[in-house]
Amino acid sequence: MTTEEIYKELGIENADAEIKEATLVSIVELANLRLLELVANLVDEQQAAELQQLVRLEDISKWIDENTPEIANAYDAIVRDVIVELQAVKLG
């Protein structure tokens, strides 16, 4: 899902750049946390230590693509779930 698609889904495609950026950062952070929950049971101790380091470097999705390809596709679905939740909050 592209950033423009995310903005459109949330109805903020015409918002200020600051709002767009803050929203995107929040979505990516939340999606990364949810994806990490999925990965937690699939990695050994060495991989967990490596992933812990990457969390600090914010390069999680690349590591997941390379080391746990069976769930790499879940990221897009997680981002979509986060967007749906944000839409519900916005409408609620």
pLDDT of residue 16: 93
With contact defined as beta carbons under 8 Å apart, do 35 and 77 qualify?
no
DSSP string, 22-73: HHHHHHHHHHHHHHHHHHTTT--HHHHHHHHHHHHHT-HHHHHHHH-HHHHT
Identify the CA nearest to 24 among candidates 39, 10, 45. Answer: 10
pLDDT by 10s per residue, the chain, length 92 = 788 998 999 999 999 999 998 998 888 888 878 877 877 778 888 887 877 777 665 566 677 778 777 776 787 888 888 888 888 877 66
Asked if residues 35 and 75 have their Cβ atoms less than 8 Å apart, the reply is yes
Q: Which of 87, 90, 76, 91 is nearest to 28 (CA)?
A: 76
